């Protein structure tokens, strides 16, 4: 096999391993991010509940004032009734008293409703706070655990990283540059095998003539579709068939 391609195959294996470490690290970090997000959501909801509660308490206070006004008005009109002379005046006062009695009744019903709503949002707020408190405790444990795991993965990544440094130093700079560009652009895969004349990077067929050249393995070959570096490795199935 072409010497440069041979070195690149090994380098690709190492880089795939490193990418795996990076994936493991980011998966663990995501776990923590999700947990933090979940706590924040609950705290925000608890705040909403508190605000709702404040608004309901204000409504309750306003309504009590209205209710007291109506009670005072009724008292005042009842006193006035004893002084009026005509039946028309009497009727008018009576209507006012009746209207305010109705208003008081409505207000009392609303007050009960507000009380129930206040209890409900207060209960929800307490529940949310308890939940987020529990999750915070779990988060603390999990963060410690995840940090340890990440540390382990990083150690292994460092070891492999040293291996990579050695390998890449053994490659011609222009070839290394080309490979690294492919790695960045092609989702971390720059060197791929061909199986039955098909590039395993993009799954396009390679023209037969080029495939013959790749089989010989004397030069470095590039996939005409995805531009990855190609190599041929005899497949068991092919060997039997051939």
What is the C-alpha to C-alpha distance for residues 64 and 70, in angstroms, rounded to an integer?
10
**Greatest alpha-carbon span in the chain:** 124
Question: What number of other Cβ atoms are within 10 A of residue 116's Cβ?
Answer: 10
> Which of 201, 214, 231, 232 is the binder for Zn ion (CB under 5 A)?
201
- The least CB distance from residue 176 to Zn ion, in Å, is 20
Total residues interacting with Zn ion, rule: CB under 5 A? 6
Nearer to Zn ion, 153 or 195 (CB): 195
Q: 156 is written with which tokens?
A: 């292994």
Strands (E), the chain: 191-195, 198-199, 221-222, 229-232
Between residues 93 and 226, which has the closer beta carbon with respect to Zn ion? 226
Minimum CB–partner distance for residue 199 and Zn ion (Å) = 3
Write down the least CB distance from residue 208 to Zn ion, Å.
16
Q: Which stretch binds Zn ion (CB under 5 A): 51-59, 92-100, 109-117, 219-227?
A: 219-227
Tokens representing 140 are 């603390």
Backbone phi, psi, residue 167, to 5°: -60, -45
Nearer to Zn ion among residue 114 and residue 190 (C-beta): 190
| Residue 198 Cβ vs Zn ion, minimum distance, rounded to whole Å | 9
Shortest spacing between CB 11 and Zn ion, in angstroms: 18
Q: Which of 56, 167, 214, 226 binds Zn ion (CB under 5 A)?
A: 226
Query: Closest CB to Zn ion among 11 and 223?
Result: 223
- Compute the distance between CA of residue 82 and CA of residue 97 in angstroms, rounded to an integer: 14
Among 18, 202, 220, 222, indicate the residue that binds Zn ion (CB under 5 A): 202
Question: Going by C-beta distance under 8 Å and a sequence separation of 6 or more, which residues neighbour residue 215?
Answer: 232
Is residue 222 involved in binding Zn ion (CB under 5 A)? no
Q: Strand, coil or helix: what is 100?
A: helix
CB of 233 vs Zn ion, minimal distance in Å: 16
Taking CB under 5 A as the binding criterion, the range among 55-63, 123-131, 134-142, 221-229 that sits at the site for Zn ion is 221-229
Among 27, 37, 225, 233, binds Zn ion (CB under 5 A): 225
Interaction with Zn ion in 180-199: which residues (CB under 5 A)? 199
Q: How far is the CB of 229 from Zn ion (least distance, A)?
A: 10
Strand arrangement of the beta sheet that strand 198-199 belongs to: 198-199, 191-195, 229-232, 221-222
Residues 6+ apart with CB under 8 A from 15: 164, 183, 188, 190
Cβ atoms 67, 104 nearer than 8 A: yes
Interaction site with Zn ion (CB under 5 A) = 199, 201-202, 223, 225-226
């Amino acid at each position: 096999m072409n010497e440069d391609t041979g070195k690149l195959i090994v380098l690709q294996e190492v880089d795939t391993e490193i990418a795996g470490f990076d994936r493991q690290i980011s998966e663990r970090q995501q776990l923590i991010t999700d947990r933090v997000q979940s706590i924040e959501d609950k705290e925000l909801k608890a705040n909403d509940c508190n605000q709702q509660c404040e608004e309901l308490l204000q409504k309750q206070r306003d309504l009590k004032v209205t209710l007291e006004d109506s009670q005072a008005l009724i008292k005042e009109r009842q006193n006035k009734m004893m002084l009026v002379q005509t039946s028309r005046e009497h009727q008018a006062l009576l209507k006012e008293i009746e209207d305010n009695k109705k208003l008081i009744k409505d207000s009392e019903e609303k007050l009960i409703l507000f009380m129930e709503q206040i209890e409900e949002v207060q209960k929800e707020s307490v529940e949310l706070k308890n939940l987020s408190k529990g999750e915070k405790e779990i988060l603390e444990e999990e963060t410690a655990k995840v940090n340890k795991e990440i540390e382990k993965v990083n150690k292994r990544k460092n070891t492999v990283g040293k291996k990579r440094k050695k390998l890449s130093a053994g490659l011609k700079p222009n070839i290394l540059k080309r490979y690294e560009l492919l790695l960045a652009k092609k989702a971390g895969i720059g060197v791929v095998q061909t199986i039955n004349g098909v590039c395993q990077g993009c799954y396009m067929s390679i023209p037969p003539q080029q495939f013959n050249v790749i089989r010989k393995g004397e030069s470095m070959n590039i996939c005409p579709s995805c531009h990855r570096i190609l190599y041929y490795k005899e497949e068991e199935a092919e060997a039997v068939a051939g």
